[in-house]
Amino acid sequence: MRKMSFQRCARTDKGVSAAGQVVSLKVWLIDDILDKINSHLPSHIRILGLKRVTGGFNSKNKCDARTYFYMLPTFAFAHKDRDVQDETYRLSTETLQQVNRLLACYTGTHNFHNFTSQKGPREPSARRYILEMYCEEPFVREGLEFAVIKVKGQSFMMHQIRKMVGLVVAIVKGYAPESVLERSWGEEKVDVPKAPGLGLVLERVHFEKYNQRFGRDGLHEPLDWTQEEGKVAAFKEQYIYPTIVSTERDERSMAQWLSTLPVHDFSATALATASTSAKVGLSLKMLAQWVPSSLEGSDGDGDTD
């Protein structure tokens, strides 16, 4: 019996779908093991490959980064004066450049306490490191244009990715000024909208430190799954993308969420600070530096951590 790592793809109807999850377990290496395992699984859950790993390997603890993608109809980026669900909308080069400029602002280490309901502004674990975030070129499915946002980070908190997407959408549509993004890193509470969970998919888990130490020791293969890329792409085209497209058409989750953006007050924190300072003087600003913001409730959505 050997310790093995399996790459699996899964489409889920609730929570986060996975296009490249990795699980580790000890198994007997029998002939045609992948086919035998897959024969007992539903069609929307597939084991795509396996690698021999070290005896103490744990796929959750050894993962040092994750890549998610968020697929959304591009009418989400249309200006707020347009119809909330204009299926004829096509993302212009200029708007795509604006989206990518804003998404790039998330890279590096920031205090993301405003992007989750689980952390206070002074908690060290609210600081997260984002390696890259960008939007790919749009494509059309069933007459509706979609785009995929990729984000790679060391780890993510509950709702973090959906709120990162939500704030950029609000800025591009004209509901919020770009200054809100910079202000969200501060300690004060900022009203950050949470985009729908439908389009969120775990794209890949990374084991870069493990690969550097064991990937070329002659006994173990690096966990990069390059040979399975074609199978992953086919799985996304067969199960994940069609599910997102059909569910969006049936439930209109993005269109309904976009209609709620006008109720968000993106200047509330700044206005409250100015108003209170005028009444009681500058000493209250010192107080605001150590009084944590209240946290709102959360129902969870599958963002990791």
| DSSP label at residue 184 | T
Q: CA 205, 206, 211: angle at the middle one, nearest 5?
A: 145
pLDDT 10s digit of each residue in the chain, 305 long?
445 556 656 654 546 778 888 888 888 888 888 899 899 988 888 888 888 888 888 888 888 999 999 999 999 999 999 988 888 999 999 999 999 999 999 999 999 999 998 899 999 999 999 999 999 999 999 999 999 999 999 999 999 999 999 999 999 999 999 999 999 999 999 999 999 999 999 998 999 898 888 887 878 888 888 888 898 899 899 989 999 999 999 999 999 999 999 999 888 654 444 443 333 333 222 222 222 222 233 333 344 44
Domains and CATH numbers, the chain: 7-262 (3.30.70.660)
CB contact set of 118 (below 8 Å; sequence gap of 6+): 157, 158, 295, 298
The rounded distance, in Å, linking the Cα atoms of 297 and 231 is 39
| DSSP label at residue 293 | P
- Annotated binding residues for substrate, written as ranges, equal 68
Catalytic residues: 13
The rounded distance, in Å, linking the Cα atoms of 32 and 142 is 38
Nearest by Cα to 82 from 263, 281, 285, 258: 258
Q: How many CB atoms lie within 10 A of CB 283?
A: 8
- Annotated binding residues, written as ranges, equal 68
Element (H, E) at 111: strand 108-111
| DSSP label at residue 263 | G
Nearest by Cα to 235 from 77, 106, 48: 48
Exposed/middle/buried for residue 235 (C-beta within 10 Å: 0-12, 13-18, 19+):
buried
The rounded distance, in Å, linking the Cα atoms of 182 and 294 is 20
Instruction: List alpha helices for the chain, DSSP H.
Output: 33-38, 93-104, 160-173, 179-183, 208-214, 229-235, 241-251, 253-258, 268-280, 283-287
- Amino acid letter, residue 50: L
CB contact set of 250 (below 8 Å; sequence gap of 6+): none
188 φ, ψ (degrees, to nearest 5)? -70, 155
